[in-house]
Structure 1
Amino acid sequence: MSGVLLRLACTAAVAAQAVLAPAPAAAAPDPHRSVAQLLTELQQLYREAEQATETYDATDVRLRQQQAEVARLDGELARARLALRTGRADAGRLARQQYQSSSDFSPYLQLLLARDPQHALDEGHVVGQLARERADTVHRLAVAERHKDQLARAARRALDTRLSLTEQQRRQRDDVRARLAGVERLLAGLTPDQLGAVARLEQTGAPGPERNLSAPGPERDLSASGARGDDRPPSGEGMRAVSYALAQIGKPYQWGAVGPQSYDCSGLTSEAWQHAGTAIPRTSQEQWDQLPKVPLNRLRPGDLIVYFPAATHVAMYVGAGKVVQAPRPGDRVKLSPLASLPVLGAVRPDVDQSPEAG
């Protein structure tokens, strides 16, 4: 990370001039704070930025779904209007027929005065059929009118929701940018010695108090995981997901991105599993909430490691105690130790798939 930190520090002065949403000003770094404290503060800022990114991503998913719903309703409304025009044309035709065949005599008198009563009866049967057809057409027309009105109201509500989500997404985008600016301000205030020390400490993993979460038990025992080389074999889909994720190493982190040129953390994991043939939720929080949990001492390549109590970061386990991840703004997709951040737990997208035969 040292190169990343140095690059961010050099560009922070320029980035700070960008027009961003207001954010609480980051306190100037205290030169007397320990390197561990600086790293903890940086991780907190990154975590806040990633939380804002995950919220943005979730809204983006909802917005795409709403856009599809608006398009569906617009198409259905267009078809309903076409059917309504056809029904009105039919109703007009029948009205003209009724007018042209109208008479001052009742059907009873027409039958009495007819030269051929049987012909009159047959003609009356046809008239009755026309009357029933008229009634059916009027009924269909009324139903079509109601259906069109219902669709118009639903399309209006869907459009209003889409516009609301668009505005919500804009505010969340500004929040992400503001939090990233806070990271840049903190980095810009560090001395070269502090930058180097923070980078070296990060390579060793999370600071002591953050390395483990509170829940005890073997599922929290990272030493019992694949770090000792006793990984479970992956499924065929898991192997394809891992291969895809590893092929992205070196590509930049970008919030909200799902490739192919850049990724955020959950964009990488969701796209890798999509490429493998299994669709999973878009955000790290949804991945944690919706995918089956697995103990950390039973990991296999392809499993997703979720970090921090709020499930704001995710990486893909590749075996031997390593994960591939899109770590943070300013960094690139890379391999990292599984325990480089505080682990919340693991989930398995392909829990129903058998391990691939060796």
Structure 2
Amino acid sequence: MGTGKRGLIAVAVTVVCAVTVLAAPGTAFADPSPKASPTGSTTATLPADRDLEAVREKLDTLYHDAAVATDAYNAAQEKTEKQSAEIVELAKKIVAGQARLDDLKNRAGAAARAQYRTGGLPPTAQLIFSDNPRQFLDGAGRVLQGQRAAKGLIGEMTRTQEDLKQYATDASDRWDKLEANRKAKAAAQETIKKQISAAEKLESRLEKKQKERLAALEKEAAHQAQTAWLDSGILKDINGKASEQGKQSVEFATQQIGKPYEWGAEGPNAFDCSGLTSQAWEKAGRPIPRTSQEQWRQLKHVAVEDMRPGDLIIYFSDASHVAMYVGGGAIIHAPRPGRTVTLAGAGEMPILGVVRPDA
């Protein structure tokens, strides 16, 4: 059995498991209620759910803001790389143009020296003093050709100088944009660190049992959102078949399950949300934009009921998160710092829309 077929079977098994867990509206990911000890001490030491719910909402906000900043960082990084490459190409053009200009100047100088050797006499005077009028006339024809060539040299020199001036202007413009994007990247990086640090600090204040209860509340909220999405009847309308490239992208995403989230990462050992989706489609032979916002802006939009495995679901009104639909109401995504690439319900987060990389 080939590697590709084994990979697709693995995907199929994963999706079957997903359907088993996700497709049944009455099935929860985990028991959302705390387990009380025989003495009831666990329940007594936990704060009220509304307090932990406030913590959960605060963490969601902090990690969401970090995701937005991560998108800004990735966009600035992508622009920086593009502008750096453009500056290198402009530098090559400037070097080549300067060499061309030097050659033209040398040729023009040679023509000027040749004219000087004739004494600079006007053609009539040269004819009068010539011992061989026929030779003079032949030479006059060559002089005329030389004059035309000289005009051509001057014109080419002028154009080359204008090109060099434009290259220098373009390079200066790219440098300014490069510096602006470096500043934008640094600002986004600072925001990411600040938001993640605040989230980690908030979580560090919780005791072990509080963290367990918080995790249960997160699962409960995700389960409720997924159940509501499935109860809408949407899944019965979603029956699209994956394209060949879609199958390859799903296979790649499935192989990354369990790898840690890391902002700005594109693999192979860690990913952020759009790093995972962009790499999956690049491996499938269809490069797509790096960030979730650009994926939403540039890729073809399709209706949710028309989506098929390999399509990308964009989440939140600001397009700050992206996941890959793998079938059966399930997605694979890199959720946030502290989590790993995982299988989840497609309706666990607010869906902005769906895009198709290989439309």
Q: TM-score, normalised by structure 1?
A: 0.81
What is the CA-CA distance between 1:223 and the residue it aligns to?
4.0
Q: Can you list the C-alpha shifts for 1:168-211, whole angstroms capped at 9, x where unaligned?
A: 21121111111110111110122322211111122234386x77
What is the CA-CA distance between 1:221 and the residue it aligns to?
6.6
Q: Quote the residue 2:24 is aligned against.
A: none
8 Å Cα contact 2:262-2:337 kept in structure 1: yes
8 Å Cα contact 1:307-1:341 kept in structure 2: yes
Matched, 1:95 2:112: yes
Q: Quote the residue 1:110 is aligned against.
A: 126
Q: Quote the residue 2:140 is aligned against.
A: 124
Check 1:230–1:99 CA distance in 2 against 1; reply closer, same or farther (3 A cut).
closer
Q: Can you list the C-alpha shifts for 1:210-236, whole angstroms capped at 9, x where unaligned?
A: 7799xxxxxx7764344x696321111
Check 1:35–1:297 CA distance in 2 against 1; reply closer, same or farther (3 A cut).
farther
Moved over 6 A (4+): 210-213
Higher mean displacement: 36-45 or 237-246: 36-45
Matched, 1:146 2:162: yes
Matched, 1:172 2:180: no
State the distance in 1 between where 2:303 and 2:96 align: 52
**RMSD of aligned alpha carbons:** 2.5
Q: Which letter maps to 2:322?
A: V
Higher mean displacement: 249-258 or 154-163: 154-163
Structure 1: tracts of 5 or more residues without a match: 3-29, 214-219, 352-358
Structure 2: tracts of 5 or more residues without a match: 1-28, 31-45
Matched, 1:281 2:297: no
State the distance in 1 between where 2:233 and 2:286 align: 28
Tell me which of 45, 54, 59 is aligned to 2:76.
59
State the distance in 2 between where 1:41 and 1:207 align: 19
Check 1:212–1:79 CA distance in 2 against 1; reply closer, same or farther (3 A cut).
farther
Identity of aligned residues (%): 36
Helix, strand or coil for the counterpart of 1:288?
Answer: helix
Q: Quote the residue 1:136 is aligned against.
A: 152
Matched positions, count: 315
Q: Can you list the C-alpha shifts for 1:279-324, whole angstroms capped at 9, x where unaligned?
A: 2211111112222222223331111111112111111111111111
8 Å Cα contact 1:77-1:151 kept in structure 2: yes
Tell me which of 179, 197, 200 is aligned to 2:216.
200
State the distance in 1 between where 2:108 and 2:254 align: 66
Check 1:135–1:310 CA distance in 2 against 1; reply closer, same or farther (3 A cut).
same
What is the CA-CA distance between 1:31 and the residue it aligns to?
4.8
Q: Quote the residue 1:40 is aligned against.
A: 57
What is the CA-CA distance between 1:350 and the residue it aligns to?
2.2
Q: Which letter maps to 1:114?
A: S
8 Å Cα contact 1:293-1:348 kept in structure 2: yes
State the distance in 2 between where 1:126 and 1:230 align: 80
State the distance in 2 between where 1:296 and 1:36 align: 30
